[in-house]
Amino acid sequence: MKSHQINYHQFHGQQFESNANFNASPFSLDGVGFDLESESQVTSKDKVYSMCPAWKHRSNRIFNVYSPVDLELKIDVENRRLNTPNLNQDKFDEFFNETFEHDWCTDENVTIQSSIPRFLFWTKSKNIWIEQRPHPLTSRNNNFVCVGGWFNISNWTRPISFGLDLVNPDEPVIIRRGDPLYQISFHSTNLDDGFRVKKSEPPRDILNKVHKTKNVLFFFDNKLPLNIKNNLFKNKESKCPFHFLWK
């Protein structure tokens, strides 16, 4: 069994085009953004299952992500519009965008992309996968479910935002500062491995990978060729599928 260190940095909306913007995030300051917490840390020890080894093994490897701000979203389904009474236009444009262009809102389904909070994760370990998954309380408390997914962060270095599927488009999404939004878990080739998360400032080589990966996505208009896309999900020794870009 190994213990892998996962570094993370929280930054401000979609601003990561330069080192200055990246490191100026107010959410990276202690007491402004929220640190990641494992599910076992925040679960009451009074729970009847809290001493179950199967539950503890899994919950030690699941980390909660919390909202650093109050947010309210109202959906005008008929006109395909989002309204946010507590955000000005600049902040709205920075924190939200439509997902999958014209298909983000139908009479039955609404899916929104949010970049608050936005995280970057990186690790020196090989073949580590990151999974983004719904938190069990958001469908009841906040009227949304996070759109889940996973990929190999040892191969692919990019920021993570999150998609919201609304439970009831006729009702608002109401989020309070400190509410859990979704969960993050990590996986290696050995499910018995452990993970430590550490808030860190990203080094220059990691920032360079972020910028170059972003440029690849922009160049292909997010429609990656299959051989490149497959590298997102492979276990291999190469640090990144685009290693040739920074030789």
CATH of 3-246, one of 3.20.130.10, 3.40.50.300, 1.10.3720.10, 2.70.40.10: 2.70.40.10
Six token digits for residue 55: 């539950």
- E strand residue ranges, 24-172: 37-38, 62-66, 71-76, 81-83, 96-98, 111-122, 129-134, 144-147, 149-152, 159-166
Question: What per-residue confidence (pLDDT) applies to 185?
Answer: 96
Question: What per-residue confidence (pLDDT) applies to 243?
Answer: 42
Per-residue pLDDT of the chain (247 residues; tens, 9 = 90+): 799 999 999 876 555 544 545 556 788 888 888 999 999 999 998 999 989 999 999 999 999 999 999 999 998 888 878 888 888 888 887 787 665 556 787 778 888 888 888 899 999 999 999 999 999 999 999 999 999 999 889 888 888 888 999 999 999 999 999 999 999 999 999 999 999 999 998 888 888 888 777 777 666 766 778 777 776 666 654 444 444 333 3
Sketch the domain layout of the chain as residue ranges.
Answer: 3-246
- 3-class secondary structure, 89: helix
Question: What per-residue confidence (pLDDT) applies to 221?
Answer: 66
Tell me the pairing of strands 129-134 and 149-152: antiparallel
Other beta carbons within 10 Å of 156: 19
Contact 143, 171 (CB under 8 A): yes
